[in-house]
Amino acid sequence: MRVLGVDPGLTRCGLGVVDGLPGRRLRMVAVGVATSEPSLDVDQRLLRIERGIEEYLEEHAPDALAVERVFAQHNVSTVMGTAQVAGLAMVAAARRRIPVAMHTPSEVKAAVTGSGRAGKAQVQTMVQRLLALDELPRPADAADALALAICHLWRPAGSVGAPQRPPGALTPAQQAWAGAEQAARARR
């Protein structure tokens, strides 16, 4: 199953494509950001971001799209731009009949690090480990997009659009945790 994760933002929109199935190693397919300059009018900024999302959808043909659920922030203009970009991504997927799922930031952090309060650095580090990358995915928006894709792939079996795994099988998160524990013990 191939998932495109979208970390919406009006200046930088993280885009990350991950392939994975239950019980199999995850593989990063692509990662990047779609950008727009703050000096442009908002319609032109949205157009630039939308083009980047469209390119990823066309080039990588995902089976699902995972978007960060926008939550209320103190800065209304930031949340407005984020919500607008999330809407662009969902419409682009809907045109292609690609299922869309929304995940909260704490849900994504918990899926990838084990803690819903993990910081950006922790998320980047775990994404690097889970995808066996040579270096940390940068910028943080790109790492967050990969984390969204991982979170979506690791949803519990039986969730709408979730990959199926045999009864009693460890989730990918549990397997990754067990592997990290074994590696830590081996270093002692």
Query: Can you name the residues that pair with 103 across neighbouring β-strands?
Result: 68
Instruction: Please check if 7 is assigned to a binding site.
Output: yes
- Given a contact cutoff of 8 angstroms between Cβ atoms, the answer to whether 119 and 83 are in contact is no
> Active site residue: 19, 50, 141, 144, which one?
141
19 annotated among ligand-binding-site residues? no
Q: Could you say which of 19, 50, 68, 144 is catalytic?
A: 68
Would you call 68 a catalytic residue per the annotation? Answer: yes
The first and second tokens of residue 57, run together, are 């959808």
φ, ψ for residue 55 (rounded to 5)?
-60, -45
Please identify which of the residues 7, 19, 50, 144 carries the catalytic annotation. Answer: 7
Closest CA to 49 of 77, 91, 12: 12
Note whether 101 and 65 are within 8 A (CB).
yes
7 belongs to the catalytic site: yes
Does the annotation mark 107 as catalytic?
no
Q: Is 68 annotated as ligand-binding?
A: yes
Binding residues: 7, 68, 141
The residues assigned a catalytic role are: 7, 68, 141
Binding residues for Mg(2+): 7, 68, 141
